Amino acid sequence: MIMGNSLDFPYKMPRIGQLDLVKAILNLSEKVHIIDISAPTGFGKTISVLYSVAKIIERGIADRVLYVVKTRNELDPVIRESKNIGINFTVIYSGRRMCPYTLDKTISNESFWIVCSILRIRGRCQYYTRAIRSSIANIKSVVDSSDDHFTIARNLFKKIGVCPYFSLLALSEHVPLTIATYPYLFKEHIRLSALPHMNPARTLLIIDEAHNIINIGSLMGESIGISVITASIEEILKYHSNEKEIINILRRLAMIKVSGKGFKYVGKGSIGLEKWVTEKISLIASDIAMRVILNTENSTDRVMNRDLKIVYTSKFLEILSQKHYDLFALMTFNNEIELHTMPVSFDLLKKLIEQFKLIIMMSGTPPSKEFLSDILDVQMNVAFIDVEEFGASNYIRENSYVVIFAGASTSYKVRDEYMYKTYAKLISDIYGGRKWVTMVVYPSYEVMQNVLKHLITSDNSIIDRGEPLSVIKNVLLSKDGAILHTVAGGRLTEGIEITKNGESMIKCVIIIGTPYPQPDDYIEMILRDTRNREYRIDYYTEVAIVRTLQALGRAIRSEKDHALTILADKRYRSPSIIGRLKLNIKKVTASIDEIKSVANQFYNQLQFM
């Protein structure tokens, strides 16, 4: 199953600590069930872990490996290093994004899959027909000759005319390594339908950027807009107008109103959601999809342009009906109401993790051992590895000049206009029109809006309003200096990398407040679950630590980068926070003038680095 005659480490000059990590993983692989690895940006954890995995498979400790990453872009480094090692692999992500028929379509995943299913059953997809007849050798040859996830998919349908998704799924049964995005692990219905051949009891699971597991709401939940519910009702009225009871249940959903910030508990019992309801809506959705397909006169392209909202609603309600899931509502930043179905217990995540033979979790800010034992309550042996103990460098710690501004706090008890004005002055004085990017990270959109009221913004101020990452990156790269306003725990503080000539353009990170999760009905329900444990750590602090370090990591992407970091909240002086952050604090002050002086000194030195 492993390509090549040897498994020599692929790089002649391993970085400090890489081979030590390999030895540690191999030593622990038959002694523990979870290996929790702390490895900072630039260490090269992907190659170290993959090399260890190849050895583990060779020794027969596990039959298969499932390596999951959060985003599609994170697939490519794993693909590259798998090729360097010589381990056979397949890569799986969104079938909709791979499909030749939907490259320029905006159809939802839910509509895509039901339409795809019907087209396959009726023999109307030529790519799928070829895929089930194609040899594994042909599929594998395309994967081996392609460099990234996008090229793999494109070459499969352009060079050999097969469906990329089902070809790569078929390949998964014949290779030891499956590289996939998070839904193929954390969304049970996706995992069971896509990877039924993968027996967790004989599978090694690798979770990259494992700090994400503390946010089970976003990881395992689903959301839907009220407008989608309303459109679903219109579709039922058009095709199944006699289904009065189903229509009334959906109308109750569409009439949900909330105000204020954060998730509000609705409860699935309040809408009359029973098993027969989800089954009936599923049948209605399938029937409507079939009628639409039959009316398109064999035009697959036209079918893939039809986005059926009832299909989206049906899948949402199916997940909501599952055990440990409940219904919440949220007023979005754009004053629209979203419905969310989210797990209200960590038991779901615990049950999932405990199925696997061996688990490797890794991140620059991995979940703490206490989180795994006290909150997840996993009944498995856990080993924690910090690669800094092997002499590896932590560039975030070494190349960050960290200052605590103790002159304000975003604590609910002290929030007022004076506090917002103080933060606005701090941001303005530190930025000062510098010719690079300053990232300002707020604990919530509410705090961001209130600070921005007192801040003079210009064309160089970029405010995160949900635009695609690529758009924000291009805007920042086009400017001669900019200030980026965003929210902790969001996509920009964990997913953006803005570099020019191999160096990060973000030279300053200002974290306004301590980014604890916003207290709301959902968080309170999760906390009630953790309080049922015999032991528990402070879940709020766990989240705040991860969000802080992830935000700081946007500025330090390699040993070339240096950044000024302002932790702007007096609560950062707490030993419980300082001890967990493990940062080298250079100064603690309540004076904005002192902070400004430090910033000027840092920027002057930066010009000579």
Count other C-beta atoms under 10 Å from residue 593's C-beta: 9
Q: Specify the pLDDT at position 536.
A: 55
| pLDDT, mean of residues 158-172 | 97
CB 438, CB 430: distance < 8 Å: yes
Q: Specify the pLDDT at position 187.
A: 93
Residue count of the chain, please give it. Answer: 609
Going along the chain from its start, the domains and CATH numbers come out as 18-107+126-214+357-390 (3.40.50.300), 220-343 (1.10.275.30), 395-606 (3.40.50.300)
| pLDDT, mean of residues 179-186 | 97
Q: Specify the pLDDT at position 499.
A: 83
User: What is the DSSP secondary structure assignment for residue 372, as one 8-state letter?
Assistant: I
Please say if the pLDDT value at position 543 is more than 80: yes
Condensed to tens digits (0 to 9), the pLDDT of residues 397-451 reads: 888 999 999 999 999 888 999 999 999 999 999 987 778 899 999 998 889 999 9
Q: Specify the pLDDT at position 243.
A: 93
Q: Specify the pLDDT at position 133.
A: 94
**CA distance between the termini of the chain:** 47
CB 37, CB 365: distance < 8 Å: no
| pLDDT, mean of residues 489-493 | 84
Please say if the pLDDT value at position 40 is more than 90: no
Condensed to tens digits (0 to 9), the pLDDT of residues 17-32 reads: 999 999 999 999 999 9
Furthest CA-CA distance within the chain: 75
For residue 2, name the pLDDT band (cuts at 50, 70, 90): very low
Q: Specify the pLDDT at position 1.
A: 42
| pLDDT, mean of residues 118-139 | 92
Count other C-beta atoms under 10 Å from residue 201's C-beta: 9
Tokens encoding 161: 């005319």
Q: Is the model's pTM score more than 0.75?
A: yes
For residue 608, name the pLDDT band (cuts at 50, 70, 90): low
SS3 label, residue 490: coil
Which range, of 215-224, 457-466, 499-508, averages the lowest pLDDT? 457-466
Nearest to 166 by CA among 177, 157, 176: 157
- The phi and psi torsions of 8 (rounded to 5 degrees) equal -70, 145
Q: Specify the pLDDT at position 6.
A: 47
Condensed to tens digits (0 to 9), the pLDDT of residues 283-321 reads: 999 999 888 887 776 677 777 877 889 999 999 999 999
Beta-bridged to residue 185, according to DSSP, are none
Long-range (24+ apart) CB contacts under 8 A made by 184-188 are: 184/66, 184/68, 184/92, 185/66, 185/68, 185/352, 186/68, 186/219, 186/220, 186/352, 187/220, 188/352
